[in-house]
Structure 1
Amino acid sequence: MLSHVLQFSLWMGISTSAALAATPGSFEDGGNTQVSAMMMFVGNDEKVYISDKTESNAAQINGHPAWNSVWDINTRQAMIMNGRTNTFCAAGMHLPNGTWITFGGNKALGPGDTPASDGQGQFDDRFGVYDGRKAIRLLTPCKSSDDWNSVKCQWLDDASQLAMQKERWYPAAEPLADGTVAIIGGFTSGGYINRNFPNDDPATSHGGSEPTYEFYPSRGAAQLMNFMVKTSGLNSYAHTFMMPSGKMFVQANYSTILWEPETNVEHELPDMPGKIVRVYPASGGVAMLPLTPANNYTPTILFCGGSDMPDEAWGDFKWPMIDTWNHPASSDCQRITPEPLDGTAPVYVKDDNMLETRTMGQFVILPDGTLLIINGALNGTAGYAQQTGQTDSYSKMPFGMSLASGPVGRPAIYDPNAEGGKRWSNDGLSSSSIPRFYHSTAILLPDASVLIAGSNPNVDVNLTTAYPTEYRAEVFYPPYFSATVRPKPSGIPQTLTYGGLPFDITIPASSYSGSANDAASKTHVAVVRAGWTTHSMSFGQRYLQLNNTYTVNQDSSITLHTSQMPPNANIFQPGPAMVFVVVNGIPSNATFVIVGSGMIEKQPLLSVADLPASQNRDGASGSANGSQTGQGGGKNGAVTTSTSMTNVVLAGLVMMVVGSGW
């Protein structure tokens, strides 16, 4: 039953006191996830939700293997959850009210990816699984105090009631400014890359590829996206980021565009230098750099790693044409600012190389504004196969089904504000002994540590191969866990608006060490969305620094006068987020908030109120810290003036479930 809890040994909870006792830069045992963690998201300050593909997991629920679980942050126990459809390589995203949603997956299959027992791929009675290719699944995060048998705490997973128009396996998902989610591309049924070779039908691969996009909730029939035809074969999990203008940055294969979702107009941007592929299965690390008042909330995208294999080496649906595990991954990093404020044409700019080659490395944006890259391999690609174009049988495959080799156990940290040549470091960081390859994941937790789980480059559960199915979780503690005290802010609201009146956050004197004036000047407020993570990427991951000034009080407490979100919902779409207060580089525990109205609608945009000048304790005034920066420019960033916060319509957190008829 849903409330059944599988017990296993635990090491300790993740309370503030326990976290402070952790060794910075180290990995600690995170328990057992019960299903291999192919997909994860942080639901609230208690729970991380995990999904796997449908396979022969030992954990059983309702008479069949489980492929969903929820990991408790405090106890590190995993509770299995029921699911109906195959979530293998689905996409996921948040909704404005804090509900999470997944799109697509694979058809129903039996053990070892054998055909479903019904012969049609619609249902397999051995796994008790239904076809997931059109599925839309909804979940509202619950807490331990909730009734876990209630409808609200379970996955709504019934493709006969809620479904997409097209079958999608490895689609992309990106929300628009109103919270509507664009769902882009994908396979129709499995494979290494989504093309035939020779590629005589780049649009649909004779029915194997889906080159269209659609929306949830629906905005009409699915439409052809020419970019998916152009990038045929290497466009699974395309990299997508909304821009301030309302256009969407889309990158796949080695091509790049700005796309207008409302009109389906594409604007070509430069190709990826060196024709390095970053999408699955090359699986480079990709993230939007922090949005700050200093950069006027102008997005810059960072790409690192992946593969420079030539086009013919990628093969087709079946397998690669070369022994990928012998081909080094890339160490190359590139930045691009798709909408430069000065109006110049966007270009890729060479950044510092990583410290090693890496495929399947994942970026996790930390609360201090640095980026952790973790997991992955030195050589090869994601995916699995029983042969290649050079190795003709499974018995000759040196690493089982894995198409990668050389685990990278040591993470590294990238500082986007450091000068060129000094942005990467792994000083003081430990190495994990667990290889994290295909289907591994990592995500930021509310205490600012990082949960790492998964890895399964196998067609089904395999516990004896070179890189086995992995159920063990780890927690990584970044260097800021060396602090003896952490900020304990109060006054953070439960809802952040786009523009509007500022709010005050109080930081007690016990929350920092050293000079109060110095601490105040080195404090910022970060709104972080950890995203929905799978396959070494995080859909929707964002970091935005709120503008603030400060007053240092006579008791050495600090009052942060804090602006609301910039009045442009394109750059940080409505929905759930974590707020961290960071003092001297040391983050607080997160406060969970909802950004925006909580509804799928045109978000209310309010005028930005001025902040008072900063005030030190001795009475000397500091600067106002740019209270008028980050106004959210662009054609869709206009400010709606309001003289009172009473004019803000904060709708209740209720979402209408849209049926299969849309």
Structure 2
Amino acid sequence: MASALITILLILILINIHPTISSSNWTLLQSNIGITAMHMQLLPNDRVLIYDRTDFGASNLSLAHGKCREDKYDYVLKRDCTAHSIEYDLLSDTFRPLMVQTDVWCSSASLLPDGTIVQTGGFNDGDHVVRVYKSCDDCDWQEIKSGLTNRRWYATNHLLPGGRQIIIGGRRQYNYEFYPKISPTEKAYSLPFLVQTNDPNLENNLYPFVFLNPDGNLFIFANNRAILFDYSRNQVLKKYPQVPGGHPRNYPSTGSAVLLPLRIVQGNVSVVEVLVCGGAPKGAFINAQNGKFDGALKTCARIRISDPNPKWVMETMPLARVMGDMLLLPNGDVLIINGGSAGSAGWEYGRNPVCNPVVYRPDSPLGHRFEIQTPSTIPRMYHSTAILVRDGRVLVGGSNPHIYYNFTNVLYPTELRLEAFLPSYLDPRLSSSRPKILPSFRTQFGYGERINIQFMVSGHVNLELVSVTLVAPSFNTHSFSMNQRLLILEGGNTTTAIGKAKYEVTVKAPPSCFIAPANYYLLFVVHGQIPSEGIWVQIG
């Protein structure tokens, strides 16, 4: 038996297909960032914007220069001299406090093509507010008091091909609007689908899962079903079947979802798939309020939305999970991380932390796609977050399942630590196969332009196993990463050797703004499932 295993490993190495190495790892970055990371967005200068809600009471981080927030509407502190937002610098592993005036609790956001983040809504005095943040060494939040037509709390944002963002739903909001406005009188538009998916006892369609389809329309998933929606004409183009079992997957049942990697072939994307995983079963939220914590869902539902007659295909995760985050890794794998195995989202309603991430490999055979990863030692329950960063790590923070900052005498204390998950492709044993992109190409491209990328690999290279991916930096909160998108560029099989351990690959930029809305993206060269560090590029 042992000799047979050795033979298989040798064959895999000889043909340069790397055997699975379950050698993921964790590192603690900061033991106390002063606030809990309820919302996170990676910025195109390798800084991360982080914020929580403003009415938790005093945080553990003072505002700079003696500033204080005066807010007569705040439920806890009318005068608050502590921060509820920070900018974390990945390169220096430092952070600085930012000042946000109105309440950003359970809000939403999108990164715009110029690198500015536009954040919308929140709670209390923040529910109609638009906030803008453009990173620099001394920049801070700018607030537009009546930037929204309707109040937005638990809404979802998506960047559109024209550069505006659409803001969909929210608590008791069965409609959508756009920002920026075309005119001061631009209104919100009714979306009956959000009424149809609304549970009369509780709203199980908050933070809907929204993805831009390559045809320019939106895939919108709420509760347990989805539509293809033409937002420009306010028209439902297609209704997808209900997920088998009928269990809700959106807040507070809180599963997660991703648009699986889009492969561009001959200037088009012909296969478009969505994966929805985890959540809490019917009735779990009400049961948790009464002290009964139902087991989380163990199923994933995958659908090819590009098919004429699409159907959900069900899969079983190795670990049940509610409040988990799903992230696209640079090599096209899906990381499922954070959350618990019982209960529901909401204050004190989650139980049994799931500390082991799981990797899902979309291209592996059905039944062989999941792999359990090395666990963290930190429970990440309600209000935890995770984002991919440029070097391939995953930044993980947050967890505050309480109304206020509670560090003692609670089941899961408020969490101020920031850590990084290192997927197995960062194992030092794989360093000889890891590409290193050379700074030999420009980083701004129009649609369809050729991109020549030079890179180095110190070990043996199988040119047939080289690809180039683009990853859009997403806004993460409440187990959903808004605007998350991964493109496999056309032409990755054109790799040639140009010197000792030096190679060049020629690919095409995405063909249109419907496949890749104009924005900043992280570009990775991937060799045998091992990605390089990313390079920031602008497309469009």
Give the shorter-chain TM-score range.
0.7 to 0.9
Equivalent position to 2:500, from 536, 542, 555: 555
In structure 1, the residue matched to 2:5 is none
Could you say which residue in structure 2 is the equivalent of 1:564? Answer: 509
Bigger radius of gyration: 1
Cα displacement string for residues 65-99 of structure 1 (whole angstroms, at most 9, x for unaligned residues): 21100112123222111111111000111112221
1:658 counterpart residue number: none
1:235 aligned to which of 205, 222, 240 = 205
Instruction: Report the alpha carbon displacement of residue 178 of structure 1 after superposing the two structures with TM.
Output: 1.1
Quote the Cα distance in structure 2 between the aligned partners of 1:76 and 1:582. 26
Q: What per-residue deviation string (whole Å, max 9, x for no partner) do you get for residues 211-267 of structure 1?
A: 121101225211211011112221211111111222211111122111110111123
For 1:320 and 1:409, how far apart are their aligned partners in 2? 21
Which digits, 9 at most, give the CA deviation of each residue in 1:178-216, with x for residues without a partner? 1211111112xxxxxxxxxxxxxxxxxxxxx12121101
Match of 1:524 in 2: 467
SS at match of 2:425: helix
Map of 1:374 onto structure 2? 337
1:288 aligns with 2:259: yes
- Give the one of 77, 82, 85 matched to 2:94: 77
The percent of aligned pairs where both chains have the same amino acid is: 32
1:37 aligns with 2:37: yes
CA distance in 2, matches of 1:90, 1:230: 23
- 2:71 counterpart residue number: none
Which structure has the highest strand share of the two?
2
Give me the TM-score of the superposition, normalised by structure 1: 0.71
What is aligned with 1:183?
Answer: 167
Distance, in Å, in 2 between the alignment partners of 1:253 and 1:488 is 43
Instruction: State the alpha-carbon separation in 2 of the partners of residues 306 and 132 from structure 1.
Output: 28
Residue 470 (structure 1) aligned to one of 415, 418, 421: 415
Give the alignment partner of residue 346 of structure 1, picking from 299, 305, 310.
310
Give, in angstroms, the shift of residue 321 of structure 1. Answer: 5.5
- Match of 2:299? 332
Please say if 1:409 is aligned against 2:411.
Answer: no
Within 1, Cα distance between the matches of 2:289 and 2:351?
17
Q: Partner letter of residue 133 of structure 1?
A: D
- In 2, distance between residues paired with 1:235 and 1:538? 16
* 1:445 matches 2:389: yes
Deviations 1:506-525, CA, capped at 9 Å, x for gaps:
123xx2311x4x2x221111
TM-score by length of 2: 0.86
1:449, distance to aligned residue in structure 2 (A): 0.6
The question of whether the paired residues in 2 share the 8 Å contact of 1:492 and 1:591 is answered with no
Q: Is the 8 A contact 1:45 1:446 kept in 2?
A: no
CA shift, 1:339, in A, is 2.1
Question: 1:157: which partner in 2?
Answer: 143
Q: CA deviation at 1:492?
A: 4.0
Residue by residue, what CA displacement relative to the aligned partner does 1:531-559 show, whole Å, maximum 9, x if unpaired? 00111110011110111212222534211
Equivalent residue for 1:649?
A: none
- 1:246 and 2:206 matched: no
Q: Distance in 2 between matches of 1:34 and 1:321?
A: 30
Query: Paired residue for 1:357?
Result: 320
* Residues 74 and 214 of structure 1: CA distance in aligned 2, closer, same or farther (over 3 Å): same
Aligned to 1:543, the other structure's residue is in SS state: strand
In the TM superposition, 1:20-35 aligns within 5 A as 24-31=23-30, 32-35=32-35
Amino acid at match of 1:58: N
Deviates more, 1:256-265 or 1:218-227: 218-227
Q: What code does the residue aligned with 1:419 have?
A: P
User: Structure 1: 5+ residue runs without aligned partners?
Assistant: 1-22, 108-130, 143-147, 188-208, 385-401, 597-662
Higher mean displacement: 447-456 or 254-263: 254-263
Question: Pairwise mapping of residues 179-328 of structure 1 onto structure 2 (< 5 A)?
Answer: 179-187=163-171, 209-219=172-182, 220-232=186-198, 233-266=203-236, 267-293=238-264, 296=269, 298-310=271-283, 314-315=285-286, 322-324=290-292, 326-328=293-295
Let me know the Cα RMSD of the aligned residues. 1.8
Q: Is the 8 A contact 1:49 1:71 kept in 2?
A: yes
Aligned partner of residue 270 in structure 1, secondary structure: coil
Which one-letter code corresponds to 1:159 in the other structure? K
Q: How does 1:376-391 map onto structure 2 within 5 Å?
A: 376-384=339-347
The residue that corresponds to 2:154 in the other structure is: 170
Q: Residue 34 of structure 1 contacts residue 78 of structure 1 at CA under 8 Å; is this kept in 2? A: no
CA distance in structure 2 between the aligned counterparts of 1:492 and 1:335, rounded to whole angstroms: 37
- Are the counterparts in 2 of residues 579 and 591 from structure 1 also a CA contact under 8 Å? yes
Cα distance in 2 between the residues matched to 1:297 and 1:323? 47
Q: Deviations over 1:254-305 (max 9, x none)?
A: 2211111011112322112111211111111211111113693532110111
Aligned mates of 1:309, 1:322 — CA distance in 2: 14
Residue 383 of structure 1 aligns to a residue whose secondary structure is coil
Distance in 2 between the 1:349 and 1:306 partners?
17
In structure 2, what is the equivalent of residue 420 of structure 1?
366
Counterpart for residue 19 of structure 2: none
What is the letter of the counterpart of residue 90 of structure 1? S
Q: Which amino acid aligns with 2:28?
A: D
Q: Cα 1:246–1:46, aligned 2, differ >3 Å: closer, same or farther? A: closer
Which whole-Å CA distance do the structure 1 matches of 2:34 and 2:445 have between them? 36
**Counterpart Cα distance in 1 of 2:289 and 2:413:** 24
Q: Report if the CA contact (8 A) 2:509-2:539 is conserved.
A: no
What's the counterpart of residue 424 of structure 2?
Answer: 479
Equivalent residue in structure 2 for 1:431, among 358, 375, 381: 375
AA aligned to 2:447 is Y
Aligned to 1:388: none
Q: 1:571 Cα deviation (Å)? A: 2.6
Q: Distance in 2 between matches of 1:543 and 1:245?
A: 16
User: Which residue identity lines up with residue 338 of structure 2 in the other structure?
Assistant: N
Structure 1 residue 26: Cα displacement = 1.2
Structure 2 residues without counterparts, runs of 5 or longer: 1-21, 69-80
> Counterpart amino acid of 1:305?
G
CA contact (8 A) 1:174 1:540 kept: yes
CA distance in 2, matches of 1:356, 1:96: 38
2:285–2:345: 8 Å Cα contact kept in structure 1?
no
What is the deviation of 1:403? 0.2
Does structure 1 retain, via aligned residues, the 8 Å contact 2:281–2:294? no
Query: For 1:568 and 1:158, how far apart are their aligned partners in 2?
Result: 32
> 3-state DSSP class of the match of 1:363?
strand
Which of 120, 129, 132 does residue 135 from structure 1 map onto?
A: 129
Tell me how far 1:33 sits from its aligned partner: 2.3
